[in-house]
Chains A and B, each alone.
Chain A
Amino acid sequence: MARTIAFKLMTPSRVIYDGRAELVIVVTTEGEEGILPSHAPLLAALKPGVLRANVADDAGVSRLMVATGEGFLQALPDRVTVLVDEALHFDDVDVAAARRELADATGRQRAPGTDPAAFAREQAIIDFAAAKLRLTGH
């Protein structure tokens, strides 16, 4: 069995996953980053995207996929912790609502006179909606 690290995924309202993983792939502001055991200490800002992890329990290794909002990743040699604003499993995604959010946010972002802060906020909504759609295969 491959080596594993402690992996924790949390949102403000609950702990989504708390167990062990062989590999965790997150989307940082700079692109995707894969975390394996014994990773050098790292603190990363995450942008909304699809988080993938090969999680391991007694039954074996399985794939965990969640659409996540903005957040942070902390990697230490023996553990990796991910904090995100929101996290949704495949079954929790409302595809129609995600489509609507995507369209609305895109519309607001393109409106004239949007200041940079508002632009970034809308971009986060767009990215999260896109991640939800990608997770559900749309």
Chain B
Amino acid sequence: MPSVRDLRDRLRSLKNTQQITKAMKQVAAAKIRRAELARKQARPYAETLAEMLDELIGSVSHVDHPFMKPGRSGAPAGVVLIAADKGLCGAFNSHLARMAELLHKEHPDARFYTVGTKARNAVRRFGVADHPTWLLGSPSKLGVARDVAQRVSDDFSQGTISEIVLISAKLISMLSQRPEKRRLVPIVPGDFHAAAAQPSAAGPKGSLEFVPSPQFVLSRLLPKYLEFTFFLAMLETDAAFFAAQLLAMNNATENASKLIDELTIQMNNARQAAITKELLEIVAGAEALNHT
């Protein structure tokens, strides 16, 4: 049986831990709001971009861009893994890492690009030590997205990789996030149609004018679309991370409460037992004196 003092020490440390988890929960709740706001503000741009591409592809008879053709055959896939920089968020990061690891087992030659410290560590753990990596929590997410897009599209057009696959977190609700795998390149034109704010009504071909030319506008729009897809995925992973952390910290706080209750009862029992024992000793001592 632990002594009263041991129990009291454990209780004190538990209460400290609970305060920390409670504080982290509140911080996560505040950050989730900010992350959601950033996502909401980015949406109109994303929808318009998809709409422009949808219109462009719908109005010209022939589109020609490396991104729309299959990559060099025989080249490995390029995988962009986005995860959080930090932990304390339940199984959030490990779910993302597992999806990447499965892909790695299937295609051991796949090349990885990671965003987020945890993504980098996971990919290193399963044996791809040297790969380009970025931080998720950098001040300019758009800058990072631009760098990632630049890097993967260079590798794609040079034939180092044959396709671009993105693994990131999808925020389904505040209580549920799940990893998602999407193939970004080669691009399927239908993607734009689904994402457009107002899908084009497929007007007569040639009714749309281009400055300077459809080819040029497409060559500018597609990289921008790729860049923006990474940006949105980073924003969503960020929001999902805070949602996961909020949930994890909420559970931790509740568990701590339960433990504190149990320990308090144990401590009271132990204290009572000690008092009873002392009383018994005093009474027994007094009795012994009376009998002499």
Q: With contacts A12-B42, A13-B142, A83-B45 known, is A72 near B208, CB below 8 A? A: no
A123 surroundings in chain B (CB, below 8 A): none
The reply to whether B41 and A45 contact each other, CB–CB distance below 8 Å, is no
Interface residues of A, count at CB 8 A: 22
Which of A8, A13, A45, A83 sits near B49, CB closer than 8 Å?
Answer: A83
Q: With contacts A74-B52, A83-B49 known, is A45 near B216, CB below 8 A? A: yes
Q: In angstroms, how far is the closest chain A Cβ from the Cβ of B193?
A: 16
Label chain B's interface by main secondary structure. Answer: helix
The reply to whether A74 and B48 contact each other, CB–CB distance below 8 Å, is yes
Q: In angstroms, how far is the closest chain A Cβ from the Cβ of B264?
A: 50
Residue A41 at the chain B interface, CB threshold 8 Å? yes
Q: In angstroms, how far is the closest chain B Cβ from the Cβ of A97?
A: 15
Residue A81 at the chain B interface, CB threshold 8 Å? yes
Interface segment out of the listed A25-33, A51-59, A106-114? A25-33
Q: In angstroms, how far is the closest chain A Cβ from the Cβ of B40?
A: 10
Residue A103 at the chain B interface, CB threshold 8 Å? no
The reply to whether B228 and A12 contact each other, CB–CB distance below 8 Å, is yes
Residue B220 at the chain A interface, CB threshold 8 Å? yes
- Interchain residue pairs A-B with the least CB separation, the first 7: A44-B211, A41-B208, A42-B209, A10-B45, A28-B211, A45-B220, A14-B41
C-alpha gap A14/B45 in the complex (Å)? 8
A43 surroundings in chain B (CB, below 8 A): 52, 55-56, 208-211, 214, 217
The reply to whether B38 and A45 contact each other, CB–CB distance below 8 Å, is no
B142 surroundings in chain A (CB, below 8 A): 12-13
C-alpha gap A110/B229 in the complex (Å)? 33
Q: In angstroms, how far is the closest chain B Cβ from the Cβ of A5?
A: 15
C-alpha gap A83/B221 in the complex (Å)? 11
What are 21 A-to-B residue pairs whose CB atoms are below 8 Å?
Answer: A8-B44, A10-B44, A10-B45, A11-B45, A12-B45, A12-B142, A13-B142, A29-B211, A41-B55, A41-B203, A41-B208, A42-B208, A42-B210, A43-B209, A43-B211, A43-B217, A44-B211, A72-B224, A74-B48, A83-B48, A83-B49
Q: In angstroms, how far is the closest chain B Cβ from the Cβ of A88?
A: 15
Residue B238 at the chain A interface, CB threshold 8 Å? no
C-alpha gap A68/B91 in the complex (Å)? 42
Q: With contacts A74-B55, A83-B48, A83-B49 known, is A12 near B231, CB below 8 A? A: yes
The reply to whether A74 and B51 contact each other, CB–CB distance below 8 Å, is yes
